[in-house]
Chain A
Amino acid sequence: MFEDMPVDVGLVHVGERIRKNDMYVELGGPSIEEKFELVRVKKPDEIRDGAITVVGPDLSEMEEGKKYPLGILIEIAGPELEEDIEGVIERRIHEYTNYIEGFMHLNQRYDIWVRVSKKAYARGFTTLAYVGNVLLALLKNELPIIEQMQVTFFTDQEKISARYAGAKAIYEARDARARGLTDDDVDVFYGCALCQSFAPSHVCVITPQRYANCGAISWFDGRAAARIDPKGPIFPIEKGECLDTVRGEYTGINESAKKRSLGTVHRIYLYSAFAYPHTSCGCFEGIAFYIPEVEGFGIVMRGYKDVTVNGLPFSTMADTTAGGRQVDGFHGISLEYMRSPKFLAADGGYARVAWMPSDLKEQMREFIPADLFSRIATEKEVKTVSELRDFLSLHAHPVIERWTAEENVPMNGTNGAMQVFSGGDFPITSGGFKIIFKNARITADRVIIEPIQPKKPGADK
């Protein structure tokens, strides 16, 4: 595929780092103010298919050890292409250019940072056209929906400046669209079967307002992946009829779940942790866990090291949550879903969240309704469920309205047997034999200690 390249091209070079001393030139990077990379969908007649253009000095015209500005513009056309997947294709620039030996690409969009190694340059990697070749070959090969494509590299400061503001405006418009897109706006959701290789009954449904549990796949990613590889693990799910707008139940999702989960999952509520919650594989970023004593949720993310307010650490609750099952009140979630207006919407959303780690709460500040922010407890304020109850009462958290008459709700884990005896040697004599317990621990459901009445002469034997 790349026989004409002076350097090797392959996945094995992805991790390659080019240090300052090994670098021939740097393009973009922290010391360059304006730089960009952008993918645009065009009409076929606006594209000269296969064209690679360098506007400004090429590598061979650059001075060793110096830094230069960079803009990468990829224009593509094809009947299946739409603006919505430009961003997804744009991220492949990072992936594919890093396959090139001696070429390092970091970050994306207006933040790109590229280095070309001295070794690669010495071997003849003297023009950006080679990068264009790789992008053309790999993008068109991997994404057959791209029918025409041209690549332009800008290294001329003025030409970059002329396009920089436009590129930034496009990024912003894209982000705004992504944030604004609701589940009602689309007819198709996406399902992902990647995790089924380890959790066969897990069914992941990806909607504009519900990111995949792993946090790695958005609705846009799903849309692009399903178009690119129609037989692949990410597939469209026609919404079908909406059976419950509040809980987010759709006929299309239910049918897909039945088919894909080996018959174990029949219904899914997208926005609820109860009854038919979305299943969880093993790599969810966090858990929304129900705390019955306060009738609200706690949230914990994978990296949280301490025990949560219910006395359990993430790892223990993850064990309850995982495995492609629907477990009432234990709900695998992604960080991105916590930024969605549909986050646990059927259960009350943030108004139902009683506890979360302080770092996470801070991270979610702009997504938590302002009047609720101070009412949600963190590990800094409370350590136990009873402290949590006091905190919620004191701060008039909305969940307290759910608390009816003060009932004695049995607490989890206290209905088991208790230990009544442990220790050294303990002989019991009964019915003519003696049992000696050495280092025994004895548990019993109930222990009654009452004084032994001295036997009266003549009493029953």
Chain B
Amino acid sequence: MLPLTEKKIALTIKEMESGLGRIRDLSISIGKLSAADWTEPEGPTPYPSLTALRTWDRTLLSRYQPFYMPFCDLCCLCTYGKCDLTGTKKGACGITMPAQQSRTVLLSACIGAATHTSHARELVTYAIKKAGRDCPINPGGNAIGVEAPIIRLVCGEKPEILADLETVLDYCESQITALLAVTHTGQEGDPLDFESKVLHAGMIDHVGMEVADLAQISALGYPKADPDAPLVALGMGTVDTTKPVILVIGHNVPPSVAIIDYLHNENLSDHVEVTGICCTSIDATRYSPRAKIIGPMSWQLRYIRSGIPDVIVVDEQCIRTDALAEAEAIHAPFIATSEKNCLGLPDRTNDTADAIVTDLVGGKLAGVLILDPEKAGEVAVRVARTVAPARKNVRASTDPATIREQVTACTQCRLCQRACPNDLKIPQGMKAAGAGELSLLAGLYETCVGCGRCEQACTKKIPVHSLIVAAAAERIKNEKFVIRTGRGAIQDIEIRNVGGPIVLGEIPGVIGFVGCANYANGGKEVAEMSVEFAKRRYIVCTSGCTAMSIGMYRDEEGKTPYEQFPGSFSAGGIVNVGSCVANAHIAGATIKIASVFARRNLRGNYAEIADYVHNRVGAVGVAWGAMSQKAAAIAAGFWRLGIPVVVGPHGTKYRRMLLGRADHDADWYVHDQRTGEDVYAGPAPEHLFVAAETKEEAMVLVAKLCMRPNDTTRGRAMKLTHYIDLSQRNLGTIPDDIPRYVRTTADIPVTLKGEITRILAQSDWKERPIPDPTLLSRDKPSPPKER
């Protein structure tokens, strides 16, 4: 066997006799992707190592310096500890507080990147099994020329078939392993080096996400970059409870696909409801629009406790770890399907479906582990159909009298409120409910994120969460909405279409609402924000649980945002790209802009393209209620591209922000490629990662962060209009940093000329040129090729 130090080898045989015949001038390459005819020149950093982009990272981090907010003052990762790191104290290994914070951020980003990459690996293996190694990668047919912008950019590869994605994943896995090693005691000690590696983890995460979604779009026939992807049912009220109901929870779609396929093959599609929570449900609806989405992850307890699901199937990620116990409480058989989430269940993968069905139906087992999606699909359907008739009788809702009876035990000790991550006024609700007034308790439903910590805190064992849900029964019945299912990538053609409107100032920016809206009122607030920006003709992109939250609100005519606004990547569109892994398409769209408009080479050319995106593409991410490590990794991937991300107030628990200093003029100079001079371009964008206290503050921030040094005067005037208008409406004031964003008088919005001219006159404002901006020095030779 040839020792392979690298997976890629190329072998050339001049002449050889073999069993097959005489071979002459044969060249063989292994592990190399199939696009032999890709002529784009390779940039300096294909498959970048941990340090290949360190210079670019430091450029960003010198502008946007980490501001640490220790969530915990101790380090307890090794047995030297616990070490107190407050003040200037160092740990036993020598680590400082800033380094420890960034180390924790890196750990978090590694967990996130590993989760997406592992998910991607499973999907690619599954997709190859289903559609073959040679199944072409096809995210959007003729409308898409750049099929995998992130993979092209990072890896310098142009994947054409599913098998090509395996090589890309090999790279991701090697990087995540190395990144994780960096967090070991006694490795990296410098906070900025940790931060650079956080950015690396984020970039790898985006590659992993792109692989995952390309694989499932290509193999499973999802909508392909389709602005008119179907509208599908959303909400607990849409479930036909007279039929057997299956609930799928998680992110990895194969078991859901198997359920849908089995139903289809057995002609049962009309007779069983397939419902889902979290991203796996979005992907199920991308596979079959008949599937129904219940809601974001915070709907797990409330939906399971409603008793509606007859069978619960879980795959991976963001699943409550007590889901099995919750299922047992409603006597719903439970099927785990992921080797990453076995929940202590017996592995029945190798048993016959008949045997497993018998054991689950007969109550011999509360749950099983089945690591074969097809078998799990068959078992889920058969068990649901068998147990449903008897279970329909046990689905009892809690009536008002029962609620009153249960709350009488409440001693008003307030421990529930203290345990609540959102400090909800549960005791008041309980008190009023005791007096027969349920509205306060029911009102908590909207703001509750469904964590159940209140119940853990209650010394009287009152099922607090269940009571809140019961009090809101009427509201739940009306949870009948629609969501446009995940359309996948953004078409190259759509990007061309918006080029004109962007430079002519008709589209002020692109905003991505991503992650979960797992924050008190978070769902309502992301819905309101997305509608506000869509009305203002921004392009609004969304994905995952946030996409669901946006669908759960209606206008005065009763229309959801998906019915009010088009699904196209255009002014005023609300674009649901899909599940969490589909976030790659939002980043991908910003990368494609560099290729589509400037014809910049993407291939292994990360720093140049990130510099282009950072200085020219007015995109902002908003993760209003993000809670997970995946969200940390996704955000980091955007940061490395220079795209700012805004989080809600509890986003500060991510331990550090990346904040620019608008008052440091020297930080905001860019190189003007047109003149070769360094010019002040204003703090655009001002921050890379920043938390907002309120929705109002967030909207003003987002409008501001859409500004870029290259804005045309019409574009800047429009961006300033919205920034000022949102600030006046939401904060009651004209922002005090306007002079930093006005470059010439043509930047001034026409309707605000008087006021702004006055403001400029009072400051030491001077007209300045609009640069062709870059943060890279063009005079420096490009760095050596990295392998």
Contact = CB atoms under 8 A, between A and B. Distances in A.
A241 interface: no
B751 A448 contact: no
Interface in A398-457: 413, 416-417, 426-430, 433, 435, 437, 439-446, 448-450, 452
Nearest to A198: B597
Contact of B145 (A200, A316, A444): A316
Contacts of A416: 36-37
A430 B503 contact: no
A430 B493 CA distance: 51
B515 interface: no
A105 to B, nearest CB: 16
Interface in B697-712: 710-712
Interface in B471-501: 491-493, 495-497, 499-500
Given A195-B499, A195-B503, A413-B37, A2 B751 contact: yes
A229 B717 CA distance: 14
A200 B674 contact: yes
A302 interface: yes
A170 interface: no
A428 B19 contact: yes
Interface size class of B (residues with CB under 8 A): 35 or more
Contacts of A450: 21-22
Given A197-B616, A282-B499, A323 B597 contact: yes
Contacts of B535: 15
- Give the one of A197, A232, A449 with max B CB within 10 A: A197
Interface string A76-119: 00000000000000000000100100000000000000000000
Contacts of B167: none
A99 B20 contact: no
A233 interface: yes
Interface size class of A (residues with CB under 8 A): 35 or more
B721 A198 contact: no
Given A313-B142, A318-B492, A282 B597 contact: yes
A339 B599 CA distance: 28
Nearest to B2: A435
A65 interface: no
B25 interface: yes
A200 B142 contact: no
A445 B497 contact: no
A302 B16 contact: no
B536 A12 contact: yes
Contacts of A15: 535-537, 572
Interface string B157-198: 000000100000000000000000000000000000000000
Nearest to A307: B142
B772 interface: yes
Given A194-B504, A198-B710, A448-B24, A443 B19 contact: no
Nearest to A442: B28
B725 A142 contact: no
A318 B499 CA distance: 13
A144 B744 CA distance: 16
A138 interface: yes
B21 A229 contact: no
A417 B12 CA distance: 14
A225 B172 CA distance: 51
A427 B18 CA distance: 9
Contact of A10 (B17, B30, B37, B751): B751
A231 interface: yes
Contacts of A305: 141-143
B142 A306 contact: yes
Given A198-B597, A437-B28, A440-B30, A229 B499 contact: no
Nearest to A201: B598
Contact of A314 (B142, B600, B714): B142
A428 B718 CA distance: 66
B382 to A, nearest CB: 36
B72 interface: no
Contacts of A11: 718, 721-722, 725, 749-751
B500 A214 contact: yes
B145 to A, nearest CB: 4
A243 interface: no
A283 interface: yes
A319 B751 CA distance: 39
7 contacts: A11-B722, A200-B673, A215-B500, A302-B493, A306-B142, A315-B143, A319-B492
Given A194-B504, A283-B499, A448-B24, 7 more contacts: A1-B752, A11-B722, A194-B712, A313-B145, A318-B596, A413-B37, A428-B19
- Nearest 8 A/B pairs, CB to CB: A323-B599, A313-B142, A282-B597, A283-B499, A198-B597, A315-B145, A197-B710, A194-B503
Interface of A: 1-2, 9-12, 14-15, 96, 99, 138, 141-142, 194-200, 214-216, 229, 231-233, 262, 281-284, 302-303, 305-307, 313-316, 318-319, 322-325, 413, 416-417, 426-430, 433, 435, 437, 439-446, 448-450, 452
Interface of B: 2, 11, 13, 16-22, 24-28, 30, 34, 36-37, 133, 141-146, 163, 491-493, 495-497, 499-500, 502-504, 535-537, 572, 593, 595-600, 616, 673-674, 710-715, 718, 721-722, 725, 744, 746, 749-755, 772
